[in-house]
C-alpha cells in the first residue's frame, strides 16, 4: 500500500533529477557562449524521462558504482556530475553559424533556462503539495 502512495513521488523525483541535470547543461552552454569551437549540448527530456522510468524503447544501462545501488537512476549526461552516467547528451541544432564555430544561441539558451526553471519549480510545488496531502490524510485532518 505504501508503494502505491509513493509511486507518484517516485516519478516526480525522477523528473526533478532530470530537470536539475538539464539546468546544469543549459548553464554550461550559457557559460561557454564565448568559447571558440564550443558545441552547445542539451538533454531531450521526453526521451530521458521515458528511459529513466522504463517506458522508453531503449533503457539507460546502469554502469559503474551506480549499478550497485538499486535506488539510483542514471541521468543522461556527459558523465553526470557524479561521473556515473553514460554519454547521453545531444548537440543542439545550430541556428546561426558563428565565425568562431561556437553553436550557442544565447537567446534560445536563456529561454530554455527559464522554461526549465519554471518546470523545476512546478515539480517541486507538486511534490510539496502531494506530501502535505498525504501527511494530512495520515493525521486524519
Whole-model pTM: value is 0.71
Give me the DSSP letters along 61-126.
Answer: PP-GGGGG-TT--PPPBSSTTTS-S-B-PEEPPPSS--TT-----HHHHHHHHHHHHHHHHHHHHH
For residue 69, pLDDT beyond 80:
no
* Higher-pLDDT residue of 118, 98: 118
Domain count, the chain: 1
pLDDT at 129 over 60: yes
- Greater confidence (78 vs 123) lies with 123
Q: Do 139 and 17 touch, CB atoms closer than 8 A?
A: no
CA distance linking residue 120 with residue 13, whole number of Å: 11
- Domain residue limits at 27: 2-139
What is residue 58's predicted lDDT score, i.e. its pLDDT?
A: 45
Amino acid at each position: 500500500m505504501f508503494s502505491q502512495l509513493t509511486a507518484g513521488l517516485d516519478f516526480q523525483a525522477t523528473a526533478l533529477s532530470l530537470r536539475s541535470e538539464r539546468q546544469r547543461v543549459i548553464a554550461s552552454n550559457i557559460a561557454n557562449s564565448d568559447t571558440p569551437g564550443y558545441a552547445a549540448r542539451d538533454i531531450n527530456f521526453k526521451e530521458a524521462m521515458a528511459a529513466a522510468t522504463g517506458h522508453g524503447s531503449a533503457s539507460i544501462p546502469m554502469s559503474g558504482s551506480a549499478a550497485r545501488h538499486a535506488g539510483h537512476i542514471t541521468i543522461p549526461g556527459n558523465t553526470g556530475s557524479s561521473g556515473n552516467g553514460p554519454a547521453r547528451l545531444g548537440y543542439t541544432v545550430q541556428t546561426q553559424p558563428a565565425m568562431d564555430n561556437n553553436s550557442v544561441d544565447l537567446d534560445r539558451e536563456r529561454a530554455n533556462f527559464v522554461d526549465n526553471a519554471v518546470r523545476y519549480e512546478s515539480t517541486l510545488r507538486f511534490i510539496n503539495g502531494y506530501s502535505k496531502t498525504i501527511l494530512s490524510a495520515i493525521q486524519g485532518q
